[in-house]
Amino acid sequence: MSKISRRNFMKCAGAAALAVAAAGAMSGCDPMLDVDVYFYANGAKLELTGKGKVQTGADEMDTATIELPAEYKAAYEIADAKAKLIRENGKRYANVNLVAKEVTYQVYYQLDGTTVLSGEVTASAVNPTITVNDLDQDELKALAKLFYETTGDVQLSNNTVIVPVKKVMGEVEVKYTKYSSFWSENPEKDSPVDNGSYDEKVPLWKGQNTISTSEMKNLNSFQYVVKAIEYEFARQTELIDQGGAVRQETRRFDPATGKTSSMRSKENADDYRYFPDPDLVPVVLTQQQLDDWKKEIPTLPDERKKNYVEKFGLSALTAEQLVIRKEIADYFEQAAAVTKAPKLAANLVVNEVARLAPEGTEIPVKPEHLAKLADLAEAGKVNSSTCREVVGLLFKQDADPEELIRRQGLEQVSDPALLEQYAKEVVAASPKAVADYQSGNAKAFQALVGQMMKRTKGKGDPALIREILQKLV
C-alpha cells in the first residue's frame, strides 16, 4: 500500500464532498424555496398575492403547494396543475390562473311576492349574471303548465334568485241576461224570466275554469276562504256541466257543513235589504283599555324580520319567508334558541318544514330535533341533500335525528381512502370530462363532482370530494 500525504488526502476529501453534493442535486434533493405567486382571473391581475413552494433548479411549480388567500377560497379555484416559473431581475415568480367556482342558487318564481314554483340554477360564484335563459327548462315548462310566464327581470341576492312572474291572460265572451226579481227555494234549478241581454268580453286568467259572480259572506279565516272556494269550484263546475249558469248572488259559507247557501240576489233586486242600521249603540273605550290591549299584542312581523336579520344573520328574503305564517316563525324561534347553526335551521324551516306542513296543520317534528339536525349539518356529519331527506323522515316518525341518520345509513361519507378510490374510478371512466377540464373548461370539473355524488348516493363530503378530484386531474 502506497503512502499518501496529508495535503493529497485533503484534496481527495474535498473532491469527494463535491461529488456527493452534485449527486444530491441530481437526485432531486434541492431545498424547497418560497416563490411569489400572482393571481389572474379572466386575464386580469387580481389584487392579492400568494406564496408557493419550488425546488431550486425547477422551471415550473406544482400549484398544489400554493395557499390561496382566504378572500379567494370561497369564489375561486386554481385552474392548472402546474405553473411556469418566471425569472426577472434576479427574482423568480409565477403567474397562476384562477377560475370562478360554480355555485348552486335557489330559484323562486314569485307572483306579487308569493312563490308559485321553486328550483335551482348553477352559476359562477364571482359576479354571477343569471338570466331567464339560464334557468332550468323543465322548471319553465312546469311554470307554463301553471299558467304563469316570466317577466324577464331576474333579481339576484346572495345565493337566491327571484324570478317575477305574471299570469297568462286571455279573453272570454260573456252574455249577461237581466232577470225579473223573485225569491226561490231552489235558485239553482228555477229559471227566472229573461228581460233582455247583452254581450261583453271579459279578461280571464287561463288557469280559471269558471267565472263566478257570487259574493261570499261569513268568511272569518283564511281556512274558511279555502274551503269556500273549494266548495264553490265543485258546485259551479257541476252546475255548468249540467247546462246551468252561475247566478249573480250573495251566498253564505257554513263552517259546520263546509257548504255555501244562497242569501239573496244582488243590488238591483228588491230583496237586497241594503240600508244602514240606526240601532247601533256607541262604544266608549278608555285609555287604560287601549294600553292593556297594546301590551297583549304579540311581536309583529316587521319587528320579527328585523330581529332575525340582526340576531341570526339571516337574509331579508329568508326572514320575510319565515314571518309569512306565525306558527312557522314561532317554530323557527324555538329551534334557533337551541341550535348553533340558526342559518341552517332557518333554511330547513323555510324550504322543508313549511312545505311539508301546510297552513292549518301541525308540525310533527320537535323544534329541538330540527335544531340538532342543523348542528349535525354544521359539523359536517350530513350534507344539505341528506338534511332534506332526514326532515321528510322526521315528519313520518319524529325521533332523535342523529340516531335516525345512523339507523338509515345516511352519515356523510368522509373517508379519504374510500373517496379517493371512488375518484380514481370516476376519473378513469370519464376521460372526456377530464380532458375538457384540463383544456380549461371549468364546468367539466363539476360533472366529475356530480359523478362522485352519484357514487356516494348523495352522501359524500362535497369539499373533500373536490379536494381529491383536484389532485387527480
Residue 409 has pLDDT above 70, yes or no: yes
DSSP H or E segment with residue 185 = none
**From its phi and psi, is residue 142 left (phi > 0), alpha (psi between -120 and 50) or beta?**
alpha
Longest dimension (CA), the chain: 144
Structural contact between residues 34 and 53, judged by C-beta atoms closer than 8 angstroms: yes
Determine the Cα–Cα distance for residues 135 and 365; give it in Å rounded to an integer. Answer: 33
Instruction: Name the band, by pLDDT with cuts 50, 70 and 90, for residue 56.
Output: confident
Pairing state between β 148-150 and 76-78 = unpaired
User: First and final CA of the chain: distance in angstroms?
Assistant: 60
The pLDDT tens digits of the residues spanning 99-138 come to: 888 888 899 999 888 888 889 988 887 878 888 888 888 8
Structural contact between residues 49 and 36, judged by C-beta atoms closer than 8 angstroms: yes
* Residue 293 bridge partners (DSSP): none
In 136-253, alpha helices (H): 137-145, 222-241
Instruction: Name the band, by pLDDT with cuts 50, 70 and 90, for residue 197.
Output: low
* Confidence at residue 315, expressed as pLDDT on a 0 to 100 scale: 94
Query: What mean pLDDT value characterizes the chain?
Result: 79
DSSP three-state, residue 434 = helix
> Burial level of 320, CB count in 10 A (0-12/13-18/19+)?
middle
* Confidence at residue 39, expressed as pLDDT on a 0 to 100 scale: 92
Poorest-confidence range of 79-93, 236-250, 288-302, 340-354? 236-250
Determine the Cα–Cα distance for residues 274 and 261; give it in Å rounded to an integer. Answer: 19
* Confidence at residue 177, expressed as pLDDT on a 0 to 100 scale: 52
- A 10 A CB-CB count for 200 gives 9
Contact residues for 171 (Cβ-Cβ < 8 A; gap 6+):
201, 202, 203, 204
The grid coordinates listed for 214 are 257570487
* Confidence at residue 327, expressed as pLDDT on a 0 to 100 scale: 94
Higher local confidence (pLDDT), 471 or 306: 306
Instruction: Name the band, by pLDDT with cuts 50, 70 and 90, for residue 383.
Output: confident
Structural contact between residues 79 and 442, judged by C-beta atoms closer than 8 angstroms: yes
> Burial level of 339, CB count in 10 A (0-12/13-18/19+)?
buried
Determine the Cα–Cα distance for residues 402 and 380; give it in Å rounded to an integer. Answer: 13
Pairing state between β 169-179 and 160-167 = unpaired
Pairing state between β 148-150 and 82-88 = unpaired
- CATH 3.40.1190.20 holds for 416-472: no
Q: Which amino acid is at 439?
A: S
Residue 211 has pLDDT above 70, yes or no: no
Mean pLDDT for 56-60 is 84
> Burial level of 273, CB count in 10 A (0-12/13-18/19+)?
exposed
The pLDDT tens digits of the residues spanning 159-175 come to: 889 999 887 876 666 56
Mean pLDDT for 192-202 is 52
The grid coordinates listed for 358 are 301546510
Measured CA distances, 13 to 3, 16, 22, 466 (Å):
16, 5, 14, 52
Determine the Cα–Cα distance for residues 159 and 103; give it in Å rounded to an integer. Answer: 8
